[in-house]
């Protein structure tokens, strides 16, 4: 075998390997984001806080000399002992109230659906929208109300063709652009929220998709992080329950009959 032929065969083999790797990289690999989980949600919040803190330039502090005329001595102060709150009371008062989505945080509602495409194979389609509003009411021990609304017309995946198709197929977001969840049973927390300690619970409420409302149970995990609360959750959705027909296209071989609705919310006191 001549040296020229050996070199040519080696080059051809290298091309085949490169093409095979390229085909896997661009057409077979699954780059779908992982399912929501509390650790990643908390990490995204703390990372963004650290980045904003690195960019901030601390302001110089000055100590002002108080005006003697404004100083109130203990003898002059009138304190009602019944209005003195303990540290525990302050913590409870600080958490009780209404919480809403914190702006500038990684809050979203989305879906996960198994699909098989003729050009890729089996993969997981993931779409998310950050156009979300939420209100949570907490009395110090019980979550008494939750209202979540998501703009499903803003769902974005890794393929804009899929996103456009959802306007007229499946979710039909051109006709039903909004998805909502409303809590129907109060959630009594087994333990008091403590900074850095995860809490698990189940939310029962009415989910509206595709113009259809059904009662669902959603597994929740939450964690107090400083003055914000991170909540993640997910539940299985059977498409037929919401009169949703699986989408169809030339490249779509099959789509599962059910999918996962998931969300990640970062809340702050309103």
- Given a cut of 50, is residue 15 above it in pLDDT? no
Alpha carbon distance 47, 105 (integer Å) = 11
pLDDT class of 75 with cuts at 50, 70, 90: very low
Q: Which helix (H) or strand (E) holds 180?
A: strand 178-183
- Give the CATH class of 32-44+90-269: mainly beta
Model pTM? 0.73
- Predicted confidence at residue 93, as pLDDT, reads 53
Structural domain boundaries in the chain:
1-30, 32-44+90-269
170 φ/ψ angles, rounded to the nearest 5 degrees: 55, -105
Between the alpha carbon of residue 258 and those of residues 29, 72, 242, 254, 263, the distances in Å are 22, 67, 11, 12, 17
Alpha carbon distance 250, 257 (integer Å) = 18
User: Which residue would you say has higher pLDDT here, 154 or 12?
Assistant: 154
Lowest mean pLDDT across 25-29, 102-106, 252-256: 25-29
pLDDT tens digits along 147-157: 999 999 999 99
């Amino acid at each position: 075998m001549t040296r020229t032929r050996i070199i040519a065969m080696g080059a051809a083999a290298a091309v085949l390997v490169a093409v095979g790797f390229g085909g896997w990289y661009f057409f077979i690999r699954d780059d779908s984001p992982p399912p929501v989980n509390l650790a990643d949600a908390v990490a995204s919040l703390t990372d963004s806080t650290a980045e904003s803190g690195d960019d901030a330039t601390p302001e110089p502090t000055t100590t002002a000399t108080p005006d003697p005329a404004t100083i109130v001595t203990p003898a002059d102060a009138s304190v009602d002992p019944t209005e003195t709150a303990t540290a525990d009371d302050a913590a409870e008062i600080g958490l009780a109230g209404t919480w809403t989505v914190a702006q500038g945080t990684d809050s979203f509602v989305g879906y996960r659906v198994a699909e098989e495409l003729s050009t890729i194979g089996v993969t997981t389609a993931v779409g998310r929208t950050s156009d979300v509003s939420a209100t949570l009411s907490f009395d110090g021990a019980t979550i008494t109300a939750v209202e979540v609304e998501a703009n499903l017309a803003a769902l974005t995946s890794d393929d804009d063709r899929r996103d456009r198709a959802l306007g007229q197929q499946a979710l039909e977001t051109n006709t039903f652009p909004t998805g909502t969840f409303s809590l129907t049973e109060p959630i009594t927390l087994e333990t008091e929220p403590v900074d850095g300690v995860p809490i698990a619970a189940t939310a029962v409420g009415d989910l509206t998709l595709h113009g259809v409302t059904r009662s669902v149970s959603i597994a929740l995990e939450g964690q107090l992080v400083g003055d914000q609360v991170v909540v993640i959750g997910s539940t299985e959705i059977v498409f037929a329950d919401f009169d949703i027909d699986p989408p169809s296209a030339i490249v779509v071989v099959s789509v599962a009959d059910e999918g996962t609705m998931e969300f990640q919310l970062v809340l702050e006191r309103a």
